[in-house]
Chains A and B, each alone.
Chain A
Amino acid sequence: MKKMFSNKKTLTNYITYAGVILLFVILQSMSAAGGLSSALKGQLVPVCAYVVMALSLNLTVGVLGELSLGHAGFMSVGAFAGAVAAAALKDVIPAGGLRLLVAMIVGALFAAIAGVIVGVPVLRLRGDYLAIVTLAFGEIIKSIVTNLYVGMDANGLHASFLNPTLHMEGGKIIINGPMGVSGIAKISSFLAGFLLIMVTLVIIFNLVNSRSGRAIMALRDNRIAAESVGINVTKYKLMAFVISAALAGAAGTLFAMGQNTVSASKFDFNTSILVLVFVVLGGLGRMWGSIIAAAALTVLPELLREFSEYRMLIYAIVLILVMLATNNPTFKNFFSKIFKRKGVKNHE
């Protein structure tokens, strides 16, 4: 019994790894053979970024059981910190892949710091405060970045608020206030996105199946009981939240480095809700669900471009149908009956 269960859990993890690798190989060879339209090709990196966003939010919402409504804020921090790092290191590290890696680490680090700043005061409280504060955090980050100017000259980096001149001697501007970052050297690739997804999966799966992950899930299931067996509530809540924020930061860097321009308005409340929709549709705590939901719902609006007038209508209907199919008990029973019958037949 015990063996079966633990095998089933690790089996799901391995199937998820294998599925991601398989999808990557198929899409990569299709794009090499010219089987993908250019619109879809352009979606490959954003899809990877949103998959990582969904996975990381699932760590907060599904595994830790806290609601975060400002996950795009961490993506934003990662995107702009990563963009600055990549632009500043252009001459030091000419190789695109390595520069992206460094930029991602910088992005993740800054997002993690933001996560600590938000998490330390809020995670000590009980109830839905985290949702309220993260909601505000997303908006604050948007305002900050909209008014932020960062540039670089021979003396190094300069940053200021509301002052585009930056007192620089020549040099070039990197973050240009409301215009954001433009003229980005596109160093993100589908391969980099795929690798980030794999790293994210390894971190989340290994965390969940370890001592710390069990402590985090214990807090979700019953905080009082978790305290009574000697689990440090604040420490483990903060750990899950900060890891989640850091992964979102890396996803932000990946996303930004695949665009021509990024501005702060890209990472608004709607983006946070969109990522939350991925998580809820895919199932709380179910990582493969998040991957499929994020990939499908990022590509779907692109595929519906031909029906541009009805695009958002169809998108909404699809959302409602999927929500019903995955969460409505009547639908669920209907499907489980079908599968049971199949199972019986297979036995005979």
Chain B
Amino acid sequence: MSNPFQKTKMVPVPSHSIIPERDLGKAPILECQHLGIEFGGLKAVNDLNLTIGRTEIAGLIGPNGAGKTTVFNLLTKVYHPTHGTILLDGKDTSGKTTEQINKMGIARTFQNIRLFSNLSVEDNVKIGLHNQEVYSTLSGILRLPSYWKKEKEAHERALELLSIFDMQDMAGMKAGSLPYGAQRRLEIVRALATNPKLLLLDEPAAGMNPSETAELMENIVKIRDTFQIAVLLIEHDMNLVMNICEGICVLNFGEVIAKGTAEEIQGNPVVIEAYLGKKKEG
């Protein structure tokens, strides 16, 4: 493959959404139907319909305050939606907690980095492996054989996951002492450790320089290809969004104003208006 960001054609599914052609035969990983939340009288998100294919890299963009992070918080049940349903892998997620949502297969990163900053990089990833490498508290305290076996596995898995971003040498460092870009990458590794089907990335390239961003783009595609998962990302770096996102959804004031491929979004006058404002007459 000469171009690492090769995309497949987007095709309409029975609803008015589009998904990549290669995901056609499979049920979509995520379906939001008329999703909405009101805080008092404010409709932070209103009537959001979103379908994400099983191995799609999708983008959620929009001006500041459009409600993008609120959508992530709805998907992970930090907020409970007041309207609509979220189907994850065909299963209704209403009434679930954040913790259960993670077990069902959504992992996320945060816009303002939320690492376990007093713990080592390796421990951060091992915490991500919490529900993957399971042994009881008692066998942990008594150091029974299952403790040694699972800890060894967790150690190896953690280093393997860190090697995606070439971070295995940082395993012993305190997470809070890492440079900014590395902290963002560690958040992605920690999210991946929970073995998700859908990865939500909240501004993964924020604060990164152009070469770091380029590397991140390659890595997001690599993660999708290796783990065969879907990725939904919020990003202000249009270069990243237009290059790797297959389907893009544009939000403004909590409402979807456009959906489509990168080419369609770039030429859409409504999107341009939302970002830059209306052209003055005359």
Judging by beta carbons under 8 Å apart, are B110 and A229 in contact?
A: no
CA distance A228 to B190 in the complex (A): 10
A283-301 to B contact mask, C-beta < 8 Å, 1/0: 0000000000000000000
Expressed in whole angstroms, the minimum distance between the Cβ of B194 and any Cβ of chain A is 5
Which residues of A201-222 are within 8 A (CB) of B?
202-203, 206-207, 210-215, 217-218, 220-222
CA distance A229 to B114 in the complex (A): 11
Number of interface residues of B (CB under 8 A): 45
Residues of A within 8 A of B99 (CB): 227, 230-233
If the complex has contacts A229-B127, A230-B99, A231-B130, are A211 and B135 also in contact, measured as CB distance less than 8 A? yes
Judging by beta carbons under 8 Å apart, are B141 and A203 in contact?
A: yes
Q: Does B206 contact A (CB under 8 A)?
A: no
Expressed in whole angstroms, the minimum distance between the Cβ of B116 and any Cβ of chain A is 4
If the complex has contacts A222-B116, A229-B190, are A206 and B143 also in contact, measured as CB distance less than 8 A? yes
Residues of B within 8 A of A233 (CB): 99
Residues of A within 8 A of B193 (CB): 229
CB nearest neighbor in A for B176: A221
Residues of B within 8 A of A226 (CB): 116, 127
Chain A interface helix/strand/loop/mixed: helix
Q: Does A155 contact B (CB under 8 A)?
A: no
Judging by beta carbons under 8 Å apart, are B107 and A207 in contact?
A: no
CA distance A224 to B110 in the complex (A): 10
Expressed in whole angstroms, the minimum distance between the Cβ of B27 and any Cβ of chain A is 23
CA distance A217 to B114 in the complex (A): 14
Judging by beta carbons under 8 Å apart, are A221 and B118 in contact?
A: yes
If the complex has contacts A206-B143, A227-B98, A231-B130, are A5 and B172 also in contact, measured as CB distance less than 8 A? yes
Judging by beta carbons under 8 Å apart, are B194 and A229 in contact?
A: yes
CA distance A213 to B137 in the complex (A): 8
CA distance A212 to B140 in the complex (A): 8
CB nearest neighbor in A for B102: A230
Which residues of B193-211 are within 8 A (CB) of A?
193-194
Expressed in whole angstroms, the minimum distance between the Cβ of A199 and any Cβ of chain B is 10
Q: Does A4 contact B (CB under 8 A)?
A: yes
CA distance A207 to B115 in the complex (A): 21
CA distance A228 to B194 in the complex (A): 9
Number of interface residues of A (CB under 8 A): 32
If the complex has contacts A2-B171, A228-B76, are A218 and B141 also in contact, measured as CB distance less than 8 A? no
Judging by beta carbons under 8 Å apart, are B78 and A224 in contact?
A: yes
CA distance A211 to B152 in the complex (A): 12
CB nearest neighbor in A for B114: A225
Residues of A within 8 A of B150 (CB): 211
B116-138 to A contact mask, C-beta < 8 Å, 1/0: 11111011001110110111010
CA distance A163 to B44 in the complex (A): 62
Judging by beta carbons under 8 Å apart, are A222 and B114 in contact?
A: yes
Residues of B within 8 A of A231 (CB): 99, 127, 130
Judging by beta carbons under 8 Å apart, are A228 and B123 in contact?
A: no
Expressed in whole angstroms, the minimum distance between the Cβ of A24 and any Cβ of chain B is 22
Residues of A within 8 A of B130 (CB): 211, 214-215, 229-231
Interchain residue pairs A-B with the least CB separation, the first 5: A210-B140, A5-B172, A230-B102, A225-B114, A221-B116
15 A/B residue pairs, CB under 8 Å, sorted by A = A6-B172, A206-B142, A207-B141, A211-B151, A214-B119, A214-B130, A215-B130, A218-B127, A222-B116, A224-B110, A225-B114, A228-B191, A229-B107, A229-B127, A229-B130
